[in-house]
Amino acid sequence: MTDPTRSTPIPEDDEIEELAPFDDDDAPLYQGEATPDEVSASQEPSDGRQWYVVHCYSGMEARVKRNLEYRIESMNMENRIFSVVVPTEEQIELRDGERRVVERRVFPGYILVQMILDDESWSVVRNTPGVTGFVGIGNRPTPLSQAEVDRIMSRLETSQPRVQVDFRPGDKVRITEGAFADFHGTVEDIDLERGKVRILVSIFGRETPVEVDFLQVEKS
């Protein structure tokens, strides 16, 4: 029998579409000899609460969160479902030569729910408008490990916005400002912490690395 305490790792942004949500309305929450106690992890509080990943329609994460929070209150489930989180982070976008701070969803199409899993709490979440299923193994929702929760929460609590750029190492770009304005080159390295990019440009027939600000670069 599959180990019910095994946790499905939360994927990176470019892997999120590979998750298979639990979406069988007629399937029982637990199969075989599995019980609610079997899906609790030793790192979690003694009451059995854990974090689960819930799949919803992309673009509706905030609405689903509001719908679920309303159902939790109206159905008196505050002692079974404790928190609903739409993972977001601030990013700095570079558009038209300007820096703009925008809020981006970390995992589009997914929300996190901290709950004590049983048939009743499962039903409240699963039947929330916009929810398409839990992420899990087979027909069983699988909790996140404490390490996964810590990693996600740490990312969400980062105070500095992440810089979002539209070029990557190896891309051809043009320097738009500064001493090397109108030079064309190849991106060698991107320093997100400092907002700098190192570009290999040809100076007197030799490739020379120069470092400029993100705002001084555009894709060729």
User: What pLDDT shows up at residue 121?
Assistant: 96
Identify the domain containing residue 205 by its residue range: 166-219
Within a domain: 212: yes
Q: Which residues pair with 14 in a beta bridge?
A: none
- One domain for residues 156 and 102: yes
- One domain for residues 143 and 207: no
- One domain for residues 175 and 214: yes
- Which CATH number belongs to the domain containing residue 108 in this structure? 3.30.70.940
The rounded distance, in Å, linking the Cα atoms of 157 and 168 is 26
User: What pLDDT shows up at residue 178?
Assistant: 84
- One domain for residues 56 and 148: yes
Per-residue pLDDT of the chain (220 residues; tens, 9 = 90+): 444 334 444 444 443 333 434 444 444 343 333 333 433 333 455 789 999 999 999 899 999 999 999 999 999 999 999 999 999 887 777 666 677 777 888 899 999 999 999 999 999 999 999 999 999 887 789 999 999 999 888 878 765 666 667 788 899 999 888 888 889 999 999 887 777 899 999 888 888 999 988 878 888 7
- One domain for residues 30 and 92: yes
Domain end marker among 163, 180, 204: 163
Q: Which residues pair with 2 in a beta bridge?
A: none
Give the predicted TM-score (pTM) of the model: 0.59
- One domain for residues 40 and 63: yes
| Count of structural domains within the chain | 2
User: What pLDDT shows up at residue 68?
Assistant: 97
Helices and strands of the chain, counted as H and E runs? 3, 14
- Which CATH number belongs to the domain containing residue 192 in this structure? 2.30.30.30
| Contact of 56 with 158, CB cutoff 8 Å | no
- One domain for residues 176 and 135: no
User: What pLDDT shows up at residue 109?
Assistant: 93
- One domain for residues 193 and 144: no
- One domain for residues 139 and 124: yes
- One domain for residues 34 and 120: yes
- One domain for residues 139 and 176: no
- One domain for residues 209 and 108: no
Within a domain: 25: yes
